[in-house]
Amino acid sequence: MKQMSLAMFFAIVLLNTAVAGNAAAQSLHTYKLDWYPGDDASCSAAATEIGARFKEITGLPVLAAGCQRTFSWKLDLVIQYQAPAPVKLVSTHSEYASSQGTFQTREACEAELENEKELFTLETGLPVVAAYCYPESSLSSENRFPFVSRVDGFGMPPVRPFVFTASLYQKPDFRADHLENMISASLEQIESVKNPRLRADFTGSLPRLVVKYYSTRQRALALESIASFEGMELCESQRTTIDSLLSEFGVVGTASYCAREQFSEVTRHYYFGLVAGAFKTVIVPGTFANRSHCESALPGLLANYQAAFPAANVKVLCSFERPEIFGNHAFLAKVLVTE
């Protein structure tokens, strides 16, 4: 047998040391699918299948795959695997967004699931590891669209799915599908938002909006209000002016509407869009007796704030709203300043 060279000996020692170091760095991690459908037997079969797919796609060893009940009515599918660090999950489900449901029934959700899987792979380039429909934990009779589709893969794609949700504290006087059409038209103007799917739900005590989309990063979508008026007619007459103002401050694809506050004639202007620029809204201290007094004070306020922020874009407007949560409505001056 040939004598081993000193260089080869040290190479083997270093290799063995590295392998041992990598083995020591391995940790136990969990991939969990909450609210998995079916019963214990069907979930167990699905766990075996998904565990095998996870191992094939990630190349990581699966130590166990099974199902567990957090509560008698809640079944979770759990996969435990070994890796130096958790593998990067890419999912259409968001841990940070509430009320993500867009389907009335599980059957409607499952009928669309194949399309959701195809879109996921098309946009991310990743194979699907798991896909299913589940009811939100906040399932109630008030929620007309309680079912959520979830599609998962693993990797670090340049494009990934995101979820935007918003509560509509004042319900518009038109149908939910009208708002969906307005916002769909808005999203068509936002190039960075790809393949959006949305649902507006006006039922229940707190109407909501859900927008699911693909992009290279989380986009600063917003559904906000910056001004209120003493009635619907005045709000509608000022809507175009406020939309133009928002455009100056970097809001892209503005869609707006007016909605009355509950038990009041006070009407808020709401806008949806992508906030591409950074700006803040400042309430000027003090109130005014009426809108005329407020508007007469705007030129002086504008001059003061423009002098204080010479490099910024500054605008002023009047709003009829509560200066405090439980206070009475009053006329306020607001300043918009770019940051």
Domain assignment present for 79: yes
Give a yes or no: residue 179 inside a domain.
no
Q: Is residue 302 part of a domain?
A: yes
Q: Both 44 and 140 in a single domain?
A: no
Give the list of residues 6+ apart from residue 116 with CB closer than 8 angstroms, or none.
92, 131, 149, 151
Kindly report the pTM of this predicted structure: 0.84
Phi-psi group of 269: left, alpha or beta (phi > 0 → left; psi -120 to 50 → alpha; rest → beta): beta
Q: Are residues 34 and 108 in the same domain?
A: no
* Residue 231 domain flag: no
Same domain membership, residue 209 and residue 132: yes
The verdict on residue 240 lying in a domain is no
User: Which domain does 324 fall in, by range?
Assistant: 279-338
- Same structural domain, 207 and 95: yes
pLDDT surpasses 80 at 147: yes
pLDDT reading at 287 higher than 50: yes
Q: Are residues 108 and 201 in the same domain?
A: yes
Q: Give the pLDDT score at 326.
A: 62
Same-domain status, 51 and 121: no
Number of separate domains in the chain: 3
Model confidence over 160-209: pLDDT tens digits?
A: 999 999 988 888 888 889 999 999 999 999 999 999 999 988 877 778 89
Write out pLDDT tens, residues 20-56: 345 447 899 999 999 999 999 999 999 999 999 999 9
Residue 60 lies in a domain: yes
Other beta carbons less than 10 A from residue 117's beta carbon: 18
- Same domain flag for 123 and 167: yes
Q: Would residue 178 count as lying in a domain?
A: no
CATH number for the domain spanning 55: value is 3.30.70
Q: Could you read off the pLDDT of 241-272 as tens digits, one per residue?
A: 999 999 999 999 999 999 998 777 799 999 99
pLDDT exceeds 50 at position 9: no
| Cα end-to-end distance, the chain, whole Å | 75
Q: Is 211 in the same domain as 109?
A: yes
Higher model confidence: residue 75 or residue 329? 75
Instruction: Flag whether 262 is in a domain.
Output: no
Q: Check residue 102 and give its pLDDT.
A: 87
Distance CA 238, CA 318 (A): 11
- 95 with 212, same domain: the answer is yes
Q: DSSP labels for 137-175?
A: TT--TT-S--EEEEEEEES--SSEEEEEEEE-SS--SS-
Going by pLDDT thresholds of 50, 70 and 90, the confidence category of residue 66 is very high
Q: Which residue has the higher pLDDT, 17 or 220?
A: 220
Q: Above pLDDT 90, what percent of the chain?
A: 71
Are both 112 and 149 inside the same structural domain? yes
Give the model confidence (pLDDT) of 199-210 as tens digits: 988 877 778 899
Q: Assess contact for 77 and 48: CB atoms under 8 A.
A: no
Give me 285's structure tokens. 């201290």
**Whether residue 151 is found in the same domain as residue 110:** yes
61 and 159 belong to one structural domain: no
